[in-house]
Amino acid sequence: MELGIGMFGDVHIDPITGKMQSAAQRTQEIIEEIKLMDEVGVDFFGMGEHHRIEYAISSPEIILAAAATVTKNIKLGSAVSVISSADPVKLFQDFSTVDLISNGRAEIMAGRGSFIESFPLFGYDLKDYAELFEEKLALLLRLNKQETVTWSGKFRKPLINQEVFPRPVHGSLPIWVAVGGTTSSVIRAGKLGLPVMFAIIGGAIENFKHLVEMYQQAWEDNGHSMEDFQVGVHMHAFFGENGQEVANQYYPLYAAQMNRIGASRGWPPYQRSQYDFGRSIHGHLVVGDVNQSVEKILHVIEMFGLTRFSAHMDVGSPNHKDMMKAIELYGTHIIPKVKEALK
C-alpha cells in the first residue's frame, strides 16, 4: 500500500484583492514541499499538467527533475501528463531523463486531462479527442517496451527502426492511466494491464465502486495476473491538528477554486452543504484531523481494494506554511497509522 500526494500547482489568489501569487514563488514553494514529503516518508508525489493562469506548472517533468535533486526515496510522477496533446517520444525521453536523475524513481501517469487548453496550444483538434488518446497511449507503451521502434499512425509521422534514448534505469517506466468516470477508459486500462488512478473529485465515493469492479473484471478477463494488479484513487484532501478548525479554514479557499472552475463549465455556486457532505464518510473529501483522515482513508482502501491512495492537497492553494504543516501531519502521523492498521 502506497500513500502519496498529488498537486496541480495552484497559485494562491487573494480572496479580497484578487491578486495572484507569482508562478515563480509557487514553484519554489512546491520544491520545498516535495523535499519535506521525502523527509517525512510520503511514498510518491504526482504533479499535474495545466496551461491556465491559475496553475503554475505546465511541464511536470521539469518540476520533477528539480525535485529529484533534493529528494532520495519518494517516487516522482505526473498527475497527469496530457498524452492526447503530447508527443509520446518526447514525453518518454523527458521522463526517462527524470528517471536517470532520480536513480529510478520516475513514473508517468497518462490521461486526457480535465481541461482542453492544451489542444489548440499544440495544434490538435478536439474532434479527435478519443482517437488522439488511444493512438498516443499505444505509442508510449511501445516506446516503453522496445528500444528500437517501427510504428505508424494517423497523427504523427511514422517511426522506422528508430532508436529512442535515453532509456530508464530499469529499462522501462511505470505507466499509470488516470480516469474519471468513463467506462470505456476503465475497460481499456484493464485490457492493457495498466494500473489505474481513479479521480474521485465530487459526489459519493460509492459511485465509483462499479467502475473499480469493471476494471478488475477487464484485467482478469484479459489474462493479467492479480499479483500485478494496482489500483489507486485521487481525492481532494487537507489536514490539520483540529478537524473542525481546518475544515473551516480550508473551505473558503476550496469553494473559491471550485467556483473559478465551475464558472467555465456552467456549475452552480459551490455550497457549504456540498463541502460538509464531501467530508462525511460517503464523500470525496479527506479534510480533517489525523484520526478523521485515517478513518476515511482506511474506509476508501477497504471499499476499493486499493494499492495506492493519493491526497490532492493544493486545491485553491492554501498558504505555504499550512501546506508544510499538513504534509508533516500526513507523513509523520496519518501514513504510519494507516499502514499499521492495514497490518
Residue 84's pLDDT is 95
* 68: nearest Cα among 29, 102, 42, 108: 102
d(Cα 38, Cα 72) in Å, to the nearest integer?
7
d(Cα 59, Cα 48) in Å, to the nearest integer?
8
Asked whether residue 95 carries a pLDDT value surpassing 90, the answer given is: yes
Residue 235's pLDDT is 98
Residue 333's pLDDT is 98
Angle between helices 209-221 and 183-192 (to 10 degrees): 30
- Cβ-proximal residues to 169 (8 Å cutoff; 6+ apart), any chain: 99, 100, 103, 104
pLDDT tens, residue by residue, 191-242: 999 999 999 999 999 999 999 999 999 999 999 999 999 999 999 999 999 9
Q: CB-hemisphere CA count at 13 Å for 14?
A: 7
Helical H segments across the chain, by residue range: 23-40, 60-68, 88-102, 118-121, 129-145, 183-192, 209-221, 243-263, 272-279, 290-304, 320-329, 335-342
Number of residues assigned to the chain: 343
CA 17 to each of CA 10, 26, 55: distance values in angstroms, whole numbers, following the listed order? 17, 18, 18
pLDDT tens, residue by residue, 291-333: 999 999 999 999 999 999 999 999 999 999 999 999 999 999 9
Asked whether residue 21 carries a pLDDT value surpassing 90, the answer given is: yes
CA 228 to each of CA 127, 175, 224, 310: distance values in angstroms, whole numbers, following the listed order? 35, 13, 8, 19
d(Cα 178, Cα 176) in Å, to the nearest integer?
7
pLDDT tens, residue by residue, 39-76: 999 999 999 999 999 999 999 999 999 999 999 999 99
| Grid coordinates given for 96 | 526517462
- State CA 241 to chain mean position distance: 25
- State CA 94 to chain mean position distance: 18
Is 176 in contact with 196 (CB distance < 8 Å)?
A: yes
Average confidence (pLDDT) over 170-177: 98
- Cβ-proximal residues to 25 (8 Å cutoff; 6+ apart), any chain: none
Asked whether residue 37 carries a pLDDT value surpassing 90, the answer given is: yes
Residue 114's pLDDT is 80
Give me the residues paired with residue 111 across strands: 82
Angle (CA) 10 177 175, round 5°:
100
| Grid coordinates given for 159 | 517511426
Asked whether residue 16 carries a pLDDT value surpassing 90, the answer given is: no
- State CA 138 to chain mean position distance: 20
Using left for φ > 0, alpha for ψ between -120 and 50, and beta otherwise, residue 112 falls in: alpha
d(Cα 89, Cα 305) in Å, to the nearest integer?
34
Give me the residues paired with residue 7 across strands: 47
- State CA 243 to chain mean position distance: 25
CB-count burial class (<10 Å; 0-12, 13-18, 19+) for 221: exposed
Q: 246: pLDDT confidence band, cut at 50, 70 and 90?
A: very high
Q: 252: pLDDT confidence band, cut at 50, 70 and 90?
A: very high
Residue in the structure block whose three cell numbers are 505555504: 320
